[in-house]
Structure 1
């Protein structure tokens, strides 16, 4: 029986792209900070002059899939991380954005073979979003860990 799993030992050689939504940037910027902290602690150069990391800003979470697709198709990234925050309001807009963003990201990952991490918070309130972006726990860190594990796992599969 073969046991195949990702590790965090050789992550310093990975190329990572982050696609981040500007909408709810109070939340997404905190997710980005957590994400960058994790990547840095695992050997990824996160400085402005880095050749291991690219960050693309999009207007909102609905636009995450199209830019993730463009980056994944370039063939230069081991993994793409999407970061966004969709907070429920009084209209069905929340459901549409969450549904299309999640389906779009999943489709891009399957079609390109590049792992795309779905780092979009979907919460009922701003307080819940703030708690997940750093007050209690910064999920940006977790999304980065998932990215490193998936990049490692995909390398192990080839």
Structure 2
């Protein structure tokens, strides 16, 4: 079984990994905190600062196209999608949440590249703030673990 023979520390070893982060600027208080927590966790797990590329897009709907452009470069071991969508009074929430999520998944599958999806979808700002640090850290760990798993599977 692939990956089963590795210890947890090996799966979370970020040395030699190149990670790209795409951050939506919408709801910057939350997305900045997500990105900070993600970056800190990447560094804690051995990813070199020079091996982290961080780009910004207007909102969650633009995240997948930036992820696709990064994936096409074929220089990243994993990517991270960061955004925050807070429910409003219209159907726009569902549209943005569903389409951005589908776009992130499609890029990951099309390029066989791990993408940790840290685009929060919450009912209100308080829920987003409560999740921002944990979800940012989780995204970093998912990116590292999946990059190492896919390398093992090659």
Is the pair's TM-score, using the shorter chain for normalization, greater than 0.5?
yes
More helix, by proportion: 2
Normalised TM-score (structure 2): 0.93
Could you tell me which residue of structure 2 aligns to residue 39 of structure 1?
Answer: 42
TM-score by length of 1: 0.91
* 3-state DSSP of counterpart to 2:81: strand
Aligned length: 149
Range 37-46 or range 148-157, more displaced: 37-46
Quote the RMSD (CA, aligned, Å): 1.1
1:54-113 CA distance string (max 9 Å, x none): 011000000010010010111000001000000000011000000110000110011111
- Structure 1 unaligned regions, length at least 5: none
- Structure 1 stretches of 4+ with a deviation exceeding 2 A read 2-6
Tell me the residue number matched to 1:149.
145
Gaps of 5+ in 2: none
1:102-155 superposed Cα distances (whole Å, 9 cap, x missing partner): 000110011111111111100001000010014xxx210000000000000010
